[in-house]
Amino acid sequence: MSRTLYDKLVDAHKVCDLPDGDMLIYVDFHIMNEYTSPQAFSGLDAKGLDVWRTEAHLAVVDHVNATRSNEPHDKASKLLIDNLESNCTKHDIAFYGLGDPRQGIEHVVVPEQGLVIPGMLIACGDSHTTTYGAYGALGFGIGTSEVEHVLATQTLRYKRMKTMRVLIDGETAPGVTAKDIIMKVVQVVGAGGANGFAVEFAGSAVRHLDMAGRMTVCNMAVELGARAALIAADEVTEAALQGHSHSGRFAFYGESWHSDPEAVFDNEVAIAGGDIEPLVTWGTSPDQSVPITAHVPVASDYVSPKAKAALARSLNYMGLTEGQSAQSIAIDTAFIGSCTNSRIEDLREAAKILEGRKVAVGVEAIVVPGSAMTRIKAEAEGLRAIFEAAGFEWRPEAGCSMCLAMNDDIAMDGERVASSTNRNFEGRQGRGARTHLMSPAMVAAASVAGHLADVRNFK
């Protein structure tokens, strides 16, 4: 029988069916951070349980830590970090803490270390674990009780999802990046439009992406509501697997990690690559975006009272007016970072825009490399010098930083941020903060212009 890539991955990891229709699945690798793991270890201790396969887990520090130095910025953060380290020491789990040369954002560190390959099932207490689908692996976020279950048994209760294929065919125009591709998909499918689905991205525009771009696409599939995102393994995948510290640690044979040609999906969406332009969000949901050459929507664009009310609420929060030109929106801050766009490839693209230019007066610009190894590589390539010459603050420590208001990088009430992150919810970057999502290159362009700007005008 022809099967989708998703079904192959689930079938390969099914331990048994459960009486209620769910199944038990085996987890090849589990990642923890300092924010979502403490209660899980407490649960183990209360039950007198140990970690069953210590070598199949990794813990990193990334959410609450400061990025200006490798010291926790407050007592609460220090407690979380120290607690994770002590639990990892107790259970003999690998721990990449502050000051460790391997430390960084979990979804940057794991591929960088060669800990993901096609065919794996990876779980983590973070929704953007879908990132690993870029490798033809099944990754998804789990809750604290599930973290405890994985630690104790290396298994999870799981319900098979429906499948959706998003085909993006055709050549994309210059200036269009992987971030624009996934933002277009979110715009078309809608936030929550893929609830209950595992989404596979396919088509020539996807196949032509490098691995960093594929990770960006799979990372933001969560904003569709998808709990899994996948891209078939190919020669790009194979090349990305080579030369890392742990390359070859996990191996899966006897299966082709792509959907069979005759596989049937429950839903299909097609988008023409040539229809995609550089996008920016204007509202408070990732699907509220427009091309940088366009304008903020007006009430007459919508039919339902609910949609009109959502428009009014978003515009009120964002401090924008109906029909306002996207490029008229002035910014206060430019931020490049996060598990979506802080890899070396992202920094290179932004640096191309910034070289020989200066950040606009009155704009605070920050860049946070996604890992210590990324930072070192970027500095060796001269990227730090380019960013700093342009007026960006180059952060020496890796972390989630201004992606979410969980550390000391918090935007103020009313502060408008051009951001390479994944979510623009109300309060995401700080109470009252106004977030505009876009690619790293577009963030760089906005930082120079002082307002949202078309990267295609920056030769």
Domain region containing 218: 5-267
210 and 74 together in one domain: yes
Residues 6 or more apart whose Cβ sits within 8 Å of residue 316: none
The domain boundary residue, chosen from 216, 241, 267: 267
Per-residue pLDDT tens for 18-65? Answer: 999 999 999 999 999 998 788 899 999 999 999 999 999 999 999 999
Per-residue model confidence (pLDDT) at position 251: 66
Bridge partner residues of 417 (DSSP): 333, 435
Q: Is residue 39 part of a domain?
A: yes
89 and 110 together in one domain: yes
Q: Is residue 328 part of a domain?
A: yes
Overall average pLDDT of the 64-82 stretch: 91
Per-residue model confidence (pLDDT) at position 167: 98
Per-residue model confidence (pLDDT) at position 443: 98
What is the pLDDT confidence band of residue 252, given thresholds at 50, 70 and 90?
low
Bridge partner residues of 276 (DSSP): none
9 and 56 together in one domain: yes
Residue pair 415/433 in contact by the 8 Å Cβ criterion:
yes
Burial class (CB in 10 A: 0-12, 13-18, 19+), 305: exposed
Overall average pLDDT of the 212-236 stretch: 97
**Does position 337 have pLDDT exceeding 80, yes or no?**
yes
Cα distance from N-terminal residue to C-terminal residue, the chain? 51
In terms of Cα–Cα distance, which of 264, 9, 260 is closest to 117?
A: 9
Residues 6 or more apart whose Cβ sits within 8 Å of residue 380: none
**Does position 256 have pLDDT exceeding 90, yes or no?**
no
Overall average pLDDT of the 379-400 stretch: 98
In terms of Cα–Cα distance, which of 375, 399, 395, 369 is closest to 98?
A: 399
- The DSSP string of 93-150 is -EEE-TT-TT-B-HHHHHHHTT---TT-EEEESSGGGGGGGGGT-EEEE--HHHHHHH
Predicted model pTM: 0.97
The domain boundary residue, chosen from 219, 242, 267: 267
290 and 213 together in one domain: no
Residue pair 176/209 in contact by the 8 Å Cβ criterion:
no
What is the pLDDT confidence band of residue 77, given thresholds at 50, 70 and 90?
very high
172 and 292 together in one domain: no
- Do the bridges between strand 155-158 and strand 138-141 make them parallel or antiparallel, or are there none, so unpaired? unpaired
The domain boundary residue, chosen from 267, 292, 310: 267
Q: Around Cβ 82, how many Cβ atoms within 10 Å? A: 13
Overall average pLDDT of the 443-450 stretch: 98
Per-residue pLDDT tens for 139-195? Answer: 999 999 999 999 999 999 999 999 999 999 999 999 999 999 999 999 999 999 999
52 and 30 together in one domain: yes
221 and 305 together in one domain: no
Q: At 239, is the secondary structure helix, strand, or coil? A: helix
Per-residue model confidence (pLDDT) at position 290: 98
Burial class (CB in 10 A: 0-12, 13-18, 19+), 304: exposed
Q: Is residue 89 part of a domain?
A: yes
**Does position 449 have pLDDT exceeding 90, yes or no?**
yes
Q: Is residue 273 part of a domain?
A: no
**Does position 253 have pLDDT exceeding 70, yes or no?**
no
207 and 326 together in one domain: no
356 and 313 together in one domain: yes
- Do the bridges between strand 364-367 and strand 393-394 make them parallel or antiparallel, or are there none, so unpaired? parallel
258 and 289 together in one domain: no
Q: Is residue 272 part of a domain?
A: no
- H or E segment at 281? strand 279-281
- H or E segment at 31? strand 29-33
Taking the C-alpha atoms of residue 256 and residue 247, their distance in angstroms, rounded to an integer, is 19
94-124 in b/e form (b: 16+ CB < 10 A) is: ebbbbeeebbbbbbbbbbbbbbbbbbbbbbb
Q: Is residue 37 part of a domain?
A: yes
Taking the C-alpha atoms of residue 387 and residue 203, their distance in angstroms, rounded to an integer, is 35
Mean pLDDT of the chain: 96
Q: At 279, is the secondary structure helix, strand, or coil? A: strand
Overall average pLDDT of the 228-246 stretch: 93
Per-residue pLDDT tens for 339-361? Answer: 999 999 999 999 999 999 999 99
259: left (phi over 0), alpha (psi -120 to 50) or beta: beta
Long-range contacts, stretch 242-248, CB < 8 angstroms, 24+ apart: 243/114, 244/111, 244/112, 244/113, 244/114, 244/115, 245/102, 245/113, 245/114, 246/113, 246/114, 246/115, 247/114, 248/114
Q: Is residue 51 part of a domain?
A: yes
Taking the C-alpha atoms of residue 455 and residue 433, their distance in angstroms, rounded to an integer, is 24
102 and 197 together in one domain: yes
Residue 207 maps to which CATH number? 3.30.499.10
Q: How many domains does the chain have?
A: 2
Token readout for 6 is 């998703």
Q: Is residue 341 part of a domain?
A: yes
Q: What is the DSSP letter of 28?
A: S
419 and 283 together in one domain: yes
Token readout for 359 is 């950040």
